[in-house]
Amino acid sequence: MQYSESGPVSRDEENPFESMKRRFEVAAHYLDLKPGIYDYLIAPEKQVIVTVPIQMDDGTVQVYEAYRVIHNTALGPSKGGIRYAPDVNLDEIKALAAWMTWKCAVVRIPFGGAKGGIKCDPTRLTQVQLEKITRRYTANLLEIFGPEKDVPAPDVNTNSQVMAWIMDTYSMHVQKTETAVVTGKPLFLGGSRGRREATGRGVMLVTMRMMEKIGLAPKEARVIVQGFGNVGSVSASLLHEQGCKVVGISDISGGYYNPGGIDVKKVITYMESHKTLEGFDGADPIDGMELLKQDCDVLVPAAREDQITSKNAPDIRAKIVVEGANGPTTAKADKILDERGILVVPDILANAGGVTVSYFEWVQNRMGYYWSEKDVNKRLKRIMKESFDEVYRLAKDHNVSLRIGAYILGVDRVAKVVRIRGIYA
Ligand code: GLU
């Protein structure tokens, strides 16, 4: 398990679903959506809350609340990760599910949006307990999941092992090995080459494209990455590989800043034996939230929601913010960053590399034929580049931020399909 995602800092600004709605409203205005379609697109199709009991080693029973929200399936089976965290709640999962709908539409993959979560603290659970929770959650949602219905994936605090348990539990119930029911699986169990790195690779690709647009050479770019989990660590190493100078990183143990540059390879090796960044001596320790305000050119929030709020947005010094996490910037903060001329490459574009390679994994499972890493990365690069360029052009045409450009693109694609399909009654 990776626990290096920073915990949420401020959820008081507005709830994530409201934050999502506010951007949707602006996009809807540009698209001239009819009120009925507007209501239909914003409402989740299905919201499931299940109780997950497990028996502990001493015979006592612990009960957890868990969720799966299917936001929209107009484009295809719903797709989205499952997160394990103590503060998971329905509003957060609803917002994340809607973001998956727009995200899949932005990168033009034939999936709808969903998200799931279990309200638990994985740091306090053993592997055996995690397996029990995962299997019971899957069993409770057998009617929801399915390769042609709803396909989960990893998210905060879940990984390929958790996906393998989901796949196995589902397969036991349907009496056949069904790899395509979940993505982000281990490589030898139907996983795709390049899936683990895909979100970070996508972040790197859009960052390079954005830098190109503003004439910032990789060698001149100083980067701060918040969160050193799967997304943050891969983004940092790939940006480093491109010649950028990574000057700041962080995880649950706090921030680490070195204006002279951090040796990312050294950090990765350090993490392998230490699990967290605590004690890393290649940079000066700094408060995790203070790190966001340090001088840099590119800031990659790759931890959790609500990290850049109206409180710290006036102090952000980056030229570009690339959202590796889902919802790291609140709607209020968006406005401030926009007014200050800070360019934000929004989550539904910036971190779409993950679900894109999840789609490749699902396709490979269904074909029974597996691609080389080179093929996966080449296809990912093409999709990220084309999607970035479409969002950029729309934002320019409408004179709006890249965030609103991305919403216009995603919402329009879903709305068009809804119109053509019509409303079944
Ligand atoms: N959890 C990732 C996301 O938020 C991946 C979802 C998926 O691959 O289905 O985009």
Closest approach atom of ligand 1 to CA 151: 9
Is 115 a catalytic site residue?
yes
Q: Are 140 and 170 in contact (CB under 8 A)?
A: no
Cα(154) to ligand 1 centroid in Å equals 6
Residue of 198, 213, 210, 207 whose CA lies nearest to 225: 207
* Pairing assessment for the beta strands 222-226 and 245-251 based on DSSP bridges: parallel
Read off the amino acid at residue 319.
Answer: K
Q: Is 341 exposed, middle or buried (0-12, 13-18, 19+ CB in 10 A)?
A: exposed
Out of 79, 94, 103, 115, the active site residue is 115
In degrees to the nearest 10, what's the CA dihedral of 217, 223, 228, 231?
Answer: -40
Please state which of the ranges 18-22, 204-208, 308-312, 398-402 shows the lowest mean pLDDT.
18-22
CA–CA gap between residue 101 and residue 328 (Å, rounded): 18
Residue 12 has pLDDT above 90, yes or no: no
Cα distances (angstroms) measured from residue 385 to each of 186, 203, 232: 27, 11, 20
Choice among 4-13, 233-242, 297-306, 404-413 with the minimum mean pLDDT: 4-13
Extents of the domains making up the chain: 44-180, 196-350
Ligand 1 center to 358 CA (angstroms): 8
Q: Is the pLDDT of residue 329 over 90?
A: yes
pLDDT at residue 2 tops 70: no
The torsion angle over the Cα atoms of residues 170, 195, 212 and 295, rounded to 10 degrees, is 90
% of the chain exceeding 90 in pLDDT: 94
Confidence grade of residue 4 (pLDDT, cut at 50, 70, 90): very low
Q: Mean pLDDT over residues 136-146, rounded?
A: 98
Report the atom number in ligand 1 closest to the C-alpha of 154. Answer: 1
CA of 79 to the centre of ligand 1 (A): 7
Which mutation among 197, 234, 235, 355 tests ligand 1's pocket best, with the greatest number of atoms within 8 A of CB? 355
Residue spans of alpha helices (H) in 6-89: 16-31, 35-42
Residue with tokens 């590989």: 241
Same topology between domain 44-180 and domain 196-350: yes
**177-224 pLDDT tens trace:** 999 999 999 999 999 999 999 999 999 999 999 999 999 999 999 999
Weakest-pLDDT range from 19-33, 240-254, 316-330: 19-33
Using CB atoms within 10 A of its CB, is residue 111 exposed (0-12), middle (13-18) or buried (19+)?
A: buried
What's the N-to-C CA distance of the chain in angstroms?
45
For the beta carbon of residue 29, count every other beta carbon within 10 angstroms: 12
Q: What is the pLDDT of residues 340-371, one digit of tens each?
A: 999 999 999 999 999 999 999 999 999 999 99
Ligand 1 site residues, Cβ closer than 6 angstroms: 79-81, 153, 155, 183, 326, 351, 354-355, 358
The CATH architecture of the domain made up of 44-180 is 3-Layer(aba) Sandwich (3.40)
CA 375 vs CA 192, 288, 353, 359, 420: distances in Å: 11, 37, 14, 14, 34
CA angle 252–224–286, rounded 5-degree value: 50
Q: Which atom of ligand 1 is nearest to the CA of 103?
A: 10
Which range has the worst mean pLDDT, 19-23, 106-110, 366-370? 19-23
Is the Cβ–Cβ distance between 391 and 402 less than 8 Å?
Answer: yes
Q: Write down the CATH number for the domain with range 196-350.
A: 3.40.50.720
- β-pairing, 298-301 vs 222-226, is parallel
Give the per-residue pLDDT at 320. 98
Confidence label for 137 from pLDDT (cuts 50, 70 and 90): very high
